[in-house]
Structure 1
């Protein structure tokens, strides 16, 4: 493919891939293609030709560099994980499209699962009210759960076997839920989501509070509520557990 065909192929493929966006800096001859903020392709369109830089598995990168003179280590990127493809008749459209799609899949596969649907589309983050509504609905449907306001009016407390596993804060200035979490889960959530913090009201080493924010989807809320329920239920003596307990 010549430079014009290469650029045309890039635009065609990009339109076919879900959730791709592209930007070009003012005065730059480079266009960057991303999926959910993660770069998978950079296109340089210069007067002397065109070049596409894509992410690739290191072993695959080495094989391609040996097969094609027109494929080199990624310009300006990690040389093991990126390759640059120069417009040339030696690179067929089929080969080019395959490598671009593989780059897209490679980057998409590393996105947090909770942020993607089965077809790779980003799930919608919840508002504070939506987050709390989902948590309440889910918690109320779990076996043996009851709730009330034993502490203060603004705290809706959910229990199983008489033990707290979730608190919903009814405060328009602080629409959060507070649930129990294992240390490993806590660390992972803190790293992934800015709106997950140490638990309010309770032991900060064992509880987390979850508010609306980027990436806080229905799946995330469901996971943390169910995990908290299981953790607390494990502390309830079997003879005191409510009937109808099943895996959740």
Structure 2
């Protein structure tokens, strides 16, 4: 998977998620995906490298970084709670889609129940188990 495909795969997945919106609050070079006003994904280029920046559970983020050279701490974000994903070996469509979905679910889990567009504990459980 190359950088352009990485970013397109991530954006396509984000657009499928209930309540997700694309905004450009930092200018045209940053695609910011939010749900109920909370950021769950950023897409940009950092010195010429296409990246996707996602929220991640701190323990999972650490494990992902230890096992994949193309996953690093979140660029310009809290390094414990965010990861930066680059294209490369071991980064495939399923991983990108799963990480985007996980980021989205982490964000909506932190919203008041009345504002959650889906139940973060059950959303996608039947489709994700089949993947």
Answering whether residue 74 of structure 2 is matched by residue 216 of structure 1, we say no
Q: Is the 8 A contact 2:52 2:85 kept in 1?
A: yes
| Cα distance per residue 1:74-127 (max 9 Å; x no partner) | xxxxxxxxxxxxxxxxxxxxxxxxxxxxxxxxxxxxxxxxxxxxxxxxxxxx11
Answering whether residue 77 of structure 2 is matched by residue 202 of structure 1, we say yes
Match of 1:16 in 2: none
- Cα distance in 2, alignment partners of residues 154 and 171 from structure 1: 10
Alignment size in residue pairs: 121
Q: Is the 8 A contact 1:193 1:213 kept in 2?
A: no
Match of 2:128 in 1: none
| Cα distance per residue 1:39-96 (max 9 Å; x no partner) | xxxxxxxxxxxxxxxxxxxxxxxxxxxxxxxxxxxxxxxxxxxxxxxxxxxxxxxxxx
Q: CA RMSD in A?
A: 1.5
| Cα distance per residue 1:194-225 (max 9 Å; x no partner) | 01100012111110000011110011101111
Answering whether residue 30 of structure 2 is matched by residue 162 of structure 1, we say no
1:236 to 111, 118, 127: 111
Structure 2, unmatched stretches of 5+, are 125-131
Match of 1:149 in 2: 24
Q: Is the 8 A contact 1:156 1:167 kept in 2?
A: yes
| Greater C-alpha Rg | 1
Answering whether residue 120 of structure 2 is matched by residue 226 of structure 1, we say no
Length-normalised TM-score, structure 1? 0.47
2:52 to 174, 177, 191: 177
Q: Post-superposition, which runs of at least 4 consecutive aligned residues in structure 1 deviate over 3 A?
A: none
Q: Please list, as runs of the form range in 1=range in 2, the aligned pairs for 1:35-74 lying within 5 A after superposition.
A: none
Task: Name which structure has the greater RCO, CA cutoff 8 Å, separation 6+.
Answer: 2
Structure 1, unmatched stretches of 5+, are 1-125
Structure 1 residues 174 and 219, CA gap change in structure 2 (3 angstroms): same
